[in-house]
Amino acid sequence: MAATTMTSREFNQDTGRAKRAASSGPVIITDRGRPVHVLLSYEDYERLTGGGVTILDLLGLPEGTDDIELDLPDMRDHADGADLD
């Protein structure tokens, strides 16, 4: 997946070319020689972002689970020191 580089001016003048290039890889858009934006196909974007996978999906919780309660210890509680005697 090779990246294509376009200046902001080239992008503004030929968005069709940018969209075609994005179908085969990212298009890096530069401003004054510095990369400032990246144009991706939606398929590549979903692949990079996990396709909408949530932490609940990753935990394997049943569908429809909107909220979970965690029993977290009080942050003021401290572990006892080790007995080195």
What CATH topology corresponds to 4-59? YefM-like fold (3.40.1620)
Give the mean pLDDT of the chain: 86
Mean pLDDT for 22-35 is 96
Residue 18 buriedness (CB in 10 A; 0-12 / 13-18 / 19+)? middle
Confidence of residue 26 (pLDDT cuts 50, 70, 90): very high
- pTM more than 0.85: no
Alpha-carbon distance of 45 to 38, in angstroms, equals 11
Residue 54 buriedness (CB in 10 A; 0-12 / 13-18 / 19+)? exposed
Question: How do the residues of the chain divide into helix, strand and coil, expressed in percent and rounded to 5?
Answer: 30, 20, 50
Alpha-carbon distance of 85 to 81, in angstroms, equals 12
